[in-house]
Amino acid sequence: MVVKYRFRLYLFTLAMLCGFCMLVYRLWWLQIEHHQEFVDKVPEAKRERARIPGVRGEIKDRNGIVLATSRATFEVRVNLREVLDEYVRQCRIKNTPVPTLKVQFTDRGIIRQKDEPDIVTMFKELIEARLAEMGLSVAFNAERDLRVHYRSFGGVIPWVYRDNLTFPEFSRFAEHNLSLPGVTVAERGSRVYPLGALACHILGYVRLPDDQRASEEERKGWDYYVPDDFGGAGVEKSFDKFLRGRPGVRTMQKNERGRIVGEVKGSYEPPRKGNDVYLTLDARIQYIAEKALREGGIGRGSVVVLNPQSGEVLAMASVPSYDPNRFIPSIKQADWDTLLANKTVPLLNRAIRGFVPGSTYKVPIALAGCLGHIQGQRFNCSGSVTYGTNAMQCWIQRQSGGSHGTLNLSDALMRSCNCFFYQYGNAAGIDNISKVGKLLGLGEKTGIELDEEDTGILPNPQWLRIHSPAERWSSGYTANTSIGQGSVLASPLQMASVSGAVASGKSYKPHLLYQVKDGDEMVEPHKQVLRANLSQYFSDTELELVRKGMWKVVNDASGTAKAARITGVEVAGKTGTAQNWRRNEKGVRVEDNHTLFISFAPYLNAKLSVCILVQGGKSGGGCAAPVAQRVMEQALALDNGYDPHVQPLEEVPGNFNKVESVSYADNPLTALAAAADEDGDTGTNAPEREATDAAPRPRNVPNIRKEADSEGSAGTASSRAAPKPAGRRAGIFSRGERSSESSSPAAPPTGGFFRRLFRSPQ
């Protein structure tokens, strides 16, 4: 009996062993012998690379005061390819058709039609309906925004559905976005200009990446391409290559079902902040200049302040102005239309725009006479000079019927005698005038790092042959050029550079770049470019003769710029009032003279060279000189501890009010001097010229926030409480986190690996 029991036990054990061996063999056969065969039958898992935009570098003044920086803002991005894939998947399950629409396109000049997935319908049914339940949906432009983006980028560049979210909104999105295919909430660097409208025309603005239209080459190699902001105008554009950050990389692992299962270990490359750009600007002097224009009641004008010993731009102000923060992340269509419709042209940087310089141009003409060795000659002013049949008046004859008599160069500059310079310029010759203009950078771009700069016009026979082939150069043309009228155009920046060259004896190219740094490491050092050393062309005596004339303009009892005097500081300068016209609202031509004043101070070892432009002013001495006095006095006081307390500035809307004179409430002496400095310094018999500030539509159009259309407005804006999130698959940009415990808006946001844009992963 015992033997029989043991036999059955052994038999059962043998069967168990055989079965186990067969199982092991089968497993070996499946997993080892035929491993590759079965692997080939399973959909391959894949990795996908996502580009993380870098943070833009800061723009600072020469002393480190921040003019432009970046802050973290929250936005909602939608990967439209994922929306399409999910919608198609659900249609297959439900056995329903995928919605499409007919789209016209041109193929070799022939208009054709094709079916396109109706991405708007898919988004509204799959995403927007859910967002409406959460109370987080907004109106959008379906045709010009969403459909255009889908056609342009598909799923490579995410579509930004919402930006500038509040933190509570961000928290709600982050809590629920895991239930929405293709939707991610993320942080990105958004530009901010902490001083408002201060230096707005220099700084410019940035444009959002959706309008960058990244090329195929740039997108190549990325499964998900999130572009950088890029400079649209001003130094944001000029120094974009330094300011742009370096992109980071995150590689996500997808399983065979196309779902993200995590991040590939060790694949994360964090984005890097761009370089910091230091400008030659001194924010304190910039603030002083901007306040001087505002407090002087000037609706259209500019101030340029240079260091005459290096060509560094210390300040460049222009009014009217705008707040560049309005352009971030995009400007409303209504606001953009208002800016364009404003006849005073707030977007125009008047500091680098060509204007008729008037009698300030007599300074380079004086140097041209030195080049022709006629600086010692005296010329008589009888009230007018006749060229051909044209009697060209001096301003004093038109104003009072008088004349200046016989003058030397310094006194002619002091009195701004037109008749003297008609004769002096012709005696010097147009060739010498052109040569001096070349030395001083007139009639060409200065090279300032702003691509909106005008060249100005230095007319000569060669210029006339190109622009008016039927006309011949004459002494009358030279006479008009000699008083800065006729076809002459020069920017305030160019004229400030002229003043600085006379003061220092060296003509530098004005520049804005001080240095570029990556942390404490120098990337681009400070450079100054010498255009011409005037001592190679003029003797010290000749230069001093011109300087002395400019000194008399301010300090002599008969000078035209007594309003520019500063107690304890010797100031030299030259006034100018150029005839100009503009069209009013009724289309009628009205007088709109340009009044200017160029100056430098102190007289010996000058620290500042300045040009002031006031449009619609009565005279350079009464309108522009007081502004120069204000700017130079406060700027020079900085060395003695004066603090202007730089604050954010509001934008100036601009106006066409006629400026009789400029004075400041805390300086009544300037008001008295300005009233006495109505020089009436305008040319006559010059071609009638209309205002040159009527700028064309800007070349650098910013991002304009598209207004919602009827298709994108339906079904939005719900105030219902947000429901608990559902456990659905994560969007492509999320790390796979789940948030099921926290429902408070103040809870830390989850989901979306881009939310740590400014921080390294833990």
**CATH number, residue 658:** 3.40.710.10
Residues whose CB falls within 8 Å of the CB of residue 586, separated by 6 or more in sequence, listed in order: none
Report yes or no on 618 lying in a domain: yes
Instruction: Work out the average pLDDT over 540-559.
Output: 94
Same domain, 524 and 623: yes
- Same domain for 366 and 218, yes or no, is no
Let me know whether 387 and 347 are in one domain: yes
The pLDDT of residue 259 is 57
Supply the CATH number for residue 255's domain. 3.90.1310.10
If asked whether residues 528 and 604 sit together in one domain, one would say yes
Burial of 139 (0-12, 13-18, 19+ CB in 10 A): middle
Answer yes or no: is 291 within a domain: yes
Tell me if 16 is assigned to some domain: no
Distances (CA, A) of 328 to 52, 232, 271, 413, 443: 20, 12, 22, 48, 36
CA distances from 685 to 240, 387, 461, 480, 583 (A): 47, 11, 20, 8, 20
**For the residues 391-409, what does the mean pLDDT come to?**
88
Residue 18 lies in a domain: no
Give me 610's structure tokens.
Answer: 């300045």
User: What's the number of CA atoms in the CB half-sphere (13 Å) around residue 329?
Assistant: 21
Assess if residue 329 is contained within a domain. yes
- The average pLDDT across 593-606 equals 95
Instruction: For residue 306, give Cα distances in angstroms to 2, 181, 185, 317, 534.
Output: 116, 56, 46, 12, 18
**C-alpha dihedral, 687 to 691 to 694 to 695, nearest 10°:** 70
What's the gap between Cα 96 and its chain centre? 50
pLDDT: is 194 or 755 the higher one?
Answer: 194
Report the pLDDT value the prediction gives residue 45, as an integer from 0 to 100: 60
Tell me what the mean pLDDT of segment 201-228 comes to: 72
**Spatial distance between the Cα atoms of 481 and 470, rounded to a whole number of angstroms:** 19
Same domain, 249 and 310: no
Looking at the structure of the chain, the number of domains it has is 2
Range from 2-16, 34-48, 225-239, 698-712 that averages highest in pLDDT: 225-239
Say yes or no: 666 and 722 in one domain.
Answer: no
Query: Of 630, 660, 676, which residue constitutes the final position of a domain?
Result: 676
First to last CA, the chain: 71
One-letter identity of residue 24: V
What are phi and psi for residue 561, nearest 5 degrees?
A: -140, 45
pLDDT reported for residue 261: 60
Q: Return the amino acid letter for 213.
A: R
Contact 30, 248 (CB under 8 A): no
State yes or no: pLDDT of 305 exceeds 80.
yes
Please state the rounded mean pLDDT for residues 542-570.
Answer: 94
CA distances from 493 to 294, 406, 636, 656 (A): 20, 33, 20, 23
Parent domain of 735:
48-91+117-277+713-756
- Do 271 and 288 sit in the same domain of this protein? no
The pLDDT value recorded for residue 217 is 67
Q: Where are the alpha helices (DSSP H) in 449-603?
A: 461-467, 475-482, 492-504, 540-555
Residue 55 in any domain: the answer is yes
Q: Does 684 reside within a domain?
A: no
Residues 351 and 486 in one domain: yes
Question: Cα–Cα distances in Å, from 618 out to 258, 614, 624, 659, 674?
Answer: 74, 9, 10, 6, 11
Q: Are residues 200 and 298 in the same domain?
A: no
Last residue of a domain, one of 647, 676, 705: 676
Identify the CA nearest to 64 among candidates 736, 663, 646. 646
Residue 762 lies in a domain: no
